[in-house]
Chain A
Amino acid sequence: MGIKLLIHNDKVPGIETLAVYRQMGGYASVEKALKTMTPNDVVEEVKKSGLRGRGGAGFPTGMKWSFLFKPEGVERYLVCNADESEPGTFKDRYLMEKIPHALIEGMITSSYALGAKTSYIYIRGEYFYVARILEKAIEEAYAAGWLGKNILGTDFSHDCFVQVGGGAYICGEETALLESLEGKRGNPRIKPPFPAIAGLYGCPTVVNNVETIATVCPIINMGGEEYAKIGIGKSTGTKLISASGHINKPGVYEIELGLPVEEFIYSDEYCGGIINGRKMKAVVAGGSSVPILPTELILKTAKGEPRLMSYESLSDGGFLTGSMLGSGGFIVYDETTSIVKNLYTFARFYHHESCGQCSPCREGTGWMEKILHRIVEGHGKPSDIDLLWDIQRKIEGNTICPLGDAAAWPVASAIRHFRAEFEEYVNHPERIKDVKHYYSVQQVSEAQL
């Protein structure tokens, strides 16, 4: 068993309640921080821990916190990004649903570090029932004095609120999230200014992912240096991985960073191998936005070294032969999967979710969906493959927010690694006509018996 710091208690009955959470050592980080540390000490510990944002970009959290602008007399905010809409990602939901107090505790400790009197948890609207779980946990925390005025008799007071969204992937982008939190359309803002200077209501704001904030608790409890010993190199600590697709045991796993990808996929402790004993074809390692890799390249880097679950190893080789850890949304595809059809589901997704502000993204995602649709339907032309390539290149880097890149990368990587499959589709549509490209629900349930 690897080290677990976040969801080690997930099976403890009643862990969603404050009483049980407390029995298991919960809220220790709040006690330690408020009673024995200055806010700056907390920031320093987080810096030492090497923690990197778990929302996707992997930006060092301590550094982000130290950028926060602190003018006298101006409110500062901590906003938790619980929008979790990246296809393949469901770890934040698991954490909030099972151990809601882990997030609340992290919100208090982090807010103390940042000097935020108020924090908001922005959760995607579809997780309405999870929002209720969080609200209950917050009520409990208020009643027990962990939230509210003068926490633990100190002069630190804090209020934490849950805010539900309305269903829009783009609201996971931090500035779109802030717009949405202000009751507006989720249009990403042009940066600079960055949220650390002008965020929510124009005030300095830190936006962090659910898992990032929850991880602050073990860091404060064990100390940043101890935490940094876990993991590998600059990928310190543990990471929640959402595993889905054609594996025997889909679910959320906490891994120590540096675990070999092969072990993660085939070991019974994790994914338990490929469904029906089939061969693996490809993996999307970090949520839909990161490049897809064929089996050879997900198990080993281009240099022939074993690929590890870490920021560095997964991106080894750049986009030519590597990918990214991203949000940790690990989707596995077996040998029967049509990469082209799968890509179509992604292209449709990005077109649906583009906010429409910039034309390369708005128009480009639309065209990519349209072209992939005709290819999948057997009406593609050989020139369509190059056309797709051309469109994705014109989107990448030319948009206000990274959604444009996120839409381009899956297309680029699918063509790069599976061009022959696209050619089969456009040159021999008759061959693909009757092929079934996914498991039927019946097959899946039989495989699981």
Chain B
Amino acid sequence: MSTQLNGAQTFDKNKLTKIVFSDDTMQTVQKMMKRYPEGKHKSALLPILHIAQAEFGGWLSPETMDYVASVLNIKPIEVYEVASFYSMYNLKPVGKCLLEVCRTSSCWTRGAEDVVKHLEKKLGIKEGETTKDGMFTIKTVECLGSCGSAPMLQCGASYHENLTLEKVDALLENYRKAGKQRSYTDLDYKNTL
């Protein structure tokens, strides 16, 4: 597991949006913190990191993590150590659509490698890279609990299952047209394609 926190080098100060939750989001966050007993609100760290990642550009910059620490009133290191442990938190910027292709056994048996190769060819990037326009990042991930509908990929909250290369093409086109950032916390998961 990666423990590097090297987001700072690629962080563009000019694009800095102010890192503060909107009033609405803050309400959700505070409600979340109340799910746990008095003094145990640190429990809300993982869900709040998902929200922060969705709100502040699809990744967790050091600034974002420091902000989350201040909201939860914990030390920044407590946030860094968690963010670097779990695979869903991006410690470097990613494209608007993070295409996470499952590569584990069941998906592999049904052509996951073809899906990755096809994506690489179509987008002109390698796995782990982001297209120049900042639209797509390809990532390979481990089993997403969709083995019965393999091969599959996840983008934001949406599972795309029983993939064929044609489906992948259509998906890319639709995502490109929509042009918006996808996150795990998308409410309209069913309509996100």
Residues of A that sit less than 8 Å from B by CB:
75, 84-90, 92-93, 118, 120, 124-129, 132, 161, 163-169, 180-186, 201, 242-246, 250-252, 284, 288, 329, 331, 333, 337, 341-342, 345-346, 348-349, 352-356, 438-445
Interface membership of B135, Cβ < 8 A: no
Answer whether A331 and B157 are a contact pair too, CB < 8 Å, given A87-B143, A129-B189, A244-B150. Answer: no
Q: How far is the CA of A331 from the CA of B106 in the complex (A)?
A: 7
For B110, the chain A residues whose CB sits under 8 A away are 245-246, 438-439, 441, 444
Shortest CB–CB separation between residue A273 and chain B, in angstroms? 16
Answer whether A126 and B88 are a contact pair too, CB < 8 Å, given A87-B104, A342-B108. Answer: yes
Which residue of chain A has its CB nearest to the CB of B44?
A183
For A439, the chain B residues whose CB sits under 8 A away are 109-111
Contact A245 B165 (CB under 8 A): no
Which residue of chain A has its CB nearest to the CB of B108?
A345
Q: How far is the CA of A354 from the CA of B85 in the complex (A)?
A: 11
Q: How far is the CA of A329 from the CA of B158 in the complex (A)?
A: 23
15 sampled A-B residue pairs with Cβ under 8 A: A87-B106, A120-B35, A126-B154, A128-B157, A128-B184, A132-B187, A163-B46, A165-B86, A169-B143, A244-B106, A246-B110, A333-B109, A438-B110, A440-B111, A441-B114
Contact B143 A438 (CB under 8 A): no
Using a Cβ–Cβ cut-off of 8 Å, how many residues does chain B contribute to the interface with A? Answer: 55
For A86, the chain B residues whose CB sits under 8 A away are 143
Contact B143 A166 (CB under 8 A): no
Contact A182 B143 (CB under 8 A): no
Q: How far is the CA of A342 from the CA of B50 in the complex (A)?
A: 32
Q: Does more than half of chain A's interface fall in helix, strand or loop, or is it mixed? A: mixed
Q: How far is the CA of A250 from the CA of B151 in the complex (A)?
A: 12
Contact A356 B111 (CB under 8 A): no
- Picked from B37, B106, B111, the residue with its CB within 8 Å of the CB of A201 is B37
Contact B1 A356 (CB under 8 A): yes
For B78, the chain A residues whose CB sits under 8 A away are 183-184
For B50, the chain A residues whose CB sits under 8 A away are 125, 128, 164, 166
Contact B85 A345 (CB under 8 A): no
Shortest CB–CB separation between residue A275 and chain B, in angstroms? 9
For B142, the chain A residues whose CB sits under 8 A away are 85, 87, 169, 348-349, 352-353
Contact B42 A88 (CB under 8 A): no
Contact A166 B86 (CB under 8 A): yes
Interface string of B127-162 (1 = CB under 8 A from A): 000000000000000111111111100100111001
For B44, the chain A residues whose CB sits under 8 A away are 183
Interface membership of B65, Cβ < 8 A: no
Which residue of chain A has its CB nearest to the CB of B88?
A167
Contact B109 A438 (CB under 8 A): yes
For B87, the chain A residues whose CB sits under 8 A away are 166-168, 352
